A and B are shown apart, each in its own frame.
Chain A
Amino acid sequence: MNTELKRQIMLDNYSNPFHKETKDKDYIKTNANNISCIDDINLFLKIENDIIIDAYFDGEACAISTSSTSIMLKNIINKNINDVKEYINNFENMIYEKEYNKDILKEALVYDEIYKQENRKTCATLPYEALKKAIAKN
């Protein structure tokens, strides 16, 4: 994937994010915010029989965080918790420059060069912090 395409995918997900909507008490709600900036994201997850059957988010965050959340949601809906954990591991390995499986990251591969901007790694991983909290709550 070239840089221009990656940028376009991020921008698309920032401008028209997937499932950006506040949900009610039927959902597990978790928050992630970045201590070094102003990103602030709420995640709403519905888990049944160890499967994430629905997921939404709201909040205010930068282009990287917002697009990363949008892409993450597309990748986890209708997935088994164990597969989601595997997906999180792979995403984090990519961000922190370790070995990872490209096949399961799909659109999230657009962040494979984010390590070049040290101060934006936490933007990309922010929604994953909220996701880990939600899984732990379940």
Chain B
Amino acid sequence: MYREDFPMFKQDYIYLDNGATTFKPQIVIDAITDYYCNYSANAHRGDYSISYKVDLEYEGARKKVAEFINADINEVVFNSGSTEGLNTIVSGFFDNLVDPGDEIIISKSEHASNVLPWFRLANKHNLKIVYVPLDANLHITLEGIKSVITSNTKVIALAETTNVVGDIRPIKAICEYAHKNNIFVVVDGAQSTPHKETDVKDSDVDFLVFSGHKMCGPTGIGVLYGKKELLEELDPLILGGGMNESFDSEKEIYLKDIPQRLEAGTPNIAGAIGLGAAIDYLQNIGMDNISIYEQKLKNYLVSKLLEIEHIKIINEEAGSGIVAFNIEGIFSQDVAYYLNKYNVCVRAGNHCAKILKSVTGVKNTVRVSLYFYNTYEEIDSLIELLMDKEKILKEMI
């Protein structure tokens, strides 16, 4: 399925680390190369034709992103990725808004980038970090959220899909309930936007971030979405060219409108154009087709893993294409090293969710994260390699 579109598949890899990053189709690489070879000028300097073309392409990419997530074009800010997006939201928006004693709801299965910025904010303003309870499957329910909301809750910040447990959170229902109680909702879409339909108007999220490289796009480009009225209140963390209207020697600064106000300096033009091409590519396949296929493939993988006695899956019930497991008595890193000998790429570790272990008691796991280009045959190869524990023990060192 679509494998011929990806140069990386000319090599003999079974790539199962799509939660970390994805392979790039030739069409994305071509779009980037086209920019560097044929109209390699700066943006927003429309004094000559190739620069004007840059504007068209760069703003065209913004339009593609806006349509992809059903946002208005001015609500799409390009940045380096989800991590920068979350930091910008925390330090540029909430830093001005919170009062001592306010509460921030996150979960123990969040990625570091949706934990550490909030920790720093909490330490600075004397806020309370509140963890949503996880159910037996390590999932979050609306009831769980309701149980920790208080009159001091200011914001709920959650990944839509978590990167270890792989559960898909009921974001729309959470937003509906939160907004009734005047609580903001920030969503980390790094693991969800690449794999399923995202509609910010339907879900009504206040802020959403995601990364281009996890959805067939280039590294170093990502998106911060915010509702227009909220982005207007977001203080730019970086000042410089491209974001100011004018300034004078009396230190008066007049800023541009959003989103340019939040994109100081020469933007990642090639990255944005590449992301635009990636979105075209994904749209062509269809986001619904992608999530349906991944779910089937994941169910197949789980059913096969369950047949192997020495394997313990920690997230059997997850709705995404992420499966985390361990082999009894073998350190996850050794499993990854063993699989690498057969060109199978999986991730071992805590996957940046370092407080999850306090809930699961499991610090490290082997993680398989699927994408639409993975195949049933690849799963069969993986299963065959995992079946024989003696072989793993023998070949892991």
Taking Cβ atoms with an 8 Å cutoff, the residues of A that contact B are 7, 10-11, 14, 37-39, 60-64, 66-67, 119-120
> A37: which of B349, B394, B397 is its contact (CB, 8 Å)?
B349
Q: How large is the interface on B (under 10, 10 to 19, 20 to 34, 35 or more residues)?
A: 10 to 19
Most buried by A among B332, B349, B394, B396: B396
- Find out whether the CB atom of A38 lies under 8 angstroms from the CB atom of B364: yes
Say whether B192 faces chain A, with CB atoms less than 8 Å apart: no
3 A-B pairs with least C-beta separation: A38-B349, A62-B333, A63-B397
On whether A7 and B333 interact (CB within 8 A), knowing A37-B349, A60-B363, the answer reads no
Taking Cβ atoms with an 8 Å cutoff, the residues of B that contact A are 331-334, 337, 340, 348-350, 363-364, 393-394, 396-397
- Find out whether the CB atom of B393 lies under 8 angstroms from the CB atom of A37: no
- Find out whether the CB atom of A62 lies under 8 angstroms from the CB atom of B337: yes
**Set of chain B residues within 8 Å of A64, measured between Cβ atoms:** 397
On whether A120 and B337 interact (CB within 8 A), knowing A11-B393, A38-B350, A63-B396, the answer reads yes
What is the bound-complex CA distance between A14 and B334, given in angstroms? Answer: 11
**Set of chain B residues within 8 Å of A62, measured between Cβ atoms:** 331, 333-334, 337
Q: Which chain B residue shows the least CB distance to A34?
A: B333
**Set of chain B residues within 8 Å of A37, measured between Cβ atoms:** 333, 348-349
Other A-B pairs beyond A10-B397, A60-B331, A62-B334, 12, CB < 8 Å: A11-B393, A11-B397, A38-B332, A38-B349, A38-B364, A39-B333, A61-B333, A62-B333, A63-B331, A63-B334, A67-B397, A119-B337
Report the minimal beta-carbon distance from B365 to chain A, rounded to whole angstroms. Answer: 10
What is the bound-complex CA distance between A11 and B394, given in angstroms? Answer: 9
Q: Which chain A residue shows the least CB distance to B329?
A: A15
What is the bound-complex CA distance between A63 and B338, given in angstroms? Answer: 11
Q: Which chain A residue shows the least CB distance to B349?
A: A38
What is the bound-complex CA distance between A66 and B397, given in angstroms? Answer: 12
What is the bound-complex CA distance between A42 and B332, given in angstroms? Answer: 19
What is the bound-complex CA distance between A64 and B337, given in angstroms? Answer: 11
What is the bound-complex CA distance between A64 and B333, given in angstroms? Answer: 10
**Set of chain A residues within 8 Å of B332, measured between Cβ atoms:** 38
**Set of chain A residues within 8 Å of B364, measured between Cβ atoms:** 38, 60
- Find out whether the CB atom of A7 lies under 8 angstroms from the CB atom of B397: yes
Q: Which chain A residue shows the least CB distance to B340?
A: A119
Most buried by B among A11, A63, A67, A119: A63
**Set of chain B residues within 8 Å of A66, measured between Cβ atoms:** 331
What is the bound-complex CA distance between A10 and B331, given in angstroms? Answer: 14
What is the bound-complex CA distance between A37 and B346, given in angstroms? Answer: 12
What is the bound-complex CA distance between A64 and B330, given in angstroms? Answer: 12
What is the bound-complex CA distance between A119 and B334, given in angstroms? Answer: 12
What is the bound-complex CA distance between A92 and B218, given in angstroms? Answer: 39
Report the minimal beta-carbon distance from B131 to chain A, rounded to whole angstroms. Answer: 23
Report the minimal beta-carbon distance from B332 to chain A, rounded to whole angstroms. Answer: 7
**Set of chain A residues within 8 Å of B334, measured between Cβ atoms:** 62-63
What is the bound-complex CA distance between A119 and B349, given in angstroms? Answer: 16
What is the bound-complex CA distance between A119 and B364, given in angstroms? Answer: 19
**Set of chain A residues within 8 Å of B337, measured between Cβ atoms:** 62, 119-120
Report the minimal beta-carbon distance from B291 to chain A, rounded to whole angstroms. Answer: 30
- Find out whether the CB atom of B348 lies under 8 angstroms from the CB atom of A38: yes
**Set of chain A residues within 8 Å of B350, measured between Cβ atoms:** 38
- Find out whether the CB atom of B331 lies under 8 angstroms from the CB atom of A61: yes
Q: Which chain B residue shows the least CB distance to A39?
A: B333
What is the bound-complex CA distance between A54 and B212, given in angstroms? Answer: 51
What is the bound-complex CA distance between A38 and B349, given in angstroms? Answer: 6
- Find out whether the CB atom of A7 lies under 8 angstroms from the CB atom of B394: yes
What is the bound-complex CA distance between A61 and B348, given in angstroms? Answer: 11
Q: Which chain B residue shows the least CB distance to A110?
A: B397
Report the minimal beta-carbon distance from B272 to chain A, rounded to whole angstroms. Answer: 30
Report the minimal beta-carbon distance from A114 to chain B, rounded to whole angstroms. Answer: 9
Q: Which chain A residue shows the least CB distance to B363?
A: A60
Report the minimal beta-carbon distance from B21 to chain A, rounded to whole angstroms. Answer: 15
What is the bound-complex CA distance between A67 and B397, given in angstroms? Answer: 11
Report the minimal beta-carbon distance from A12 to chain B, rounded to whole angstroms. Answer: 12
- 22 A-B residue pairs with Cβ-Cβ distance under 8 Å, sorted by A, are A7-B394, A10-B397, A11-B393, A11-B397, A14-B397, A37-B333, A38-B333, A38-B348, A38-B349, A38-B350, A60-B331, A60-B364, A61-B333, A62-B331, A62-B333, A62-B337, A63-B331, A63-B334, A64-B397, A67-B397, A119-B337, A120-B337
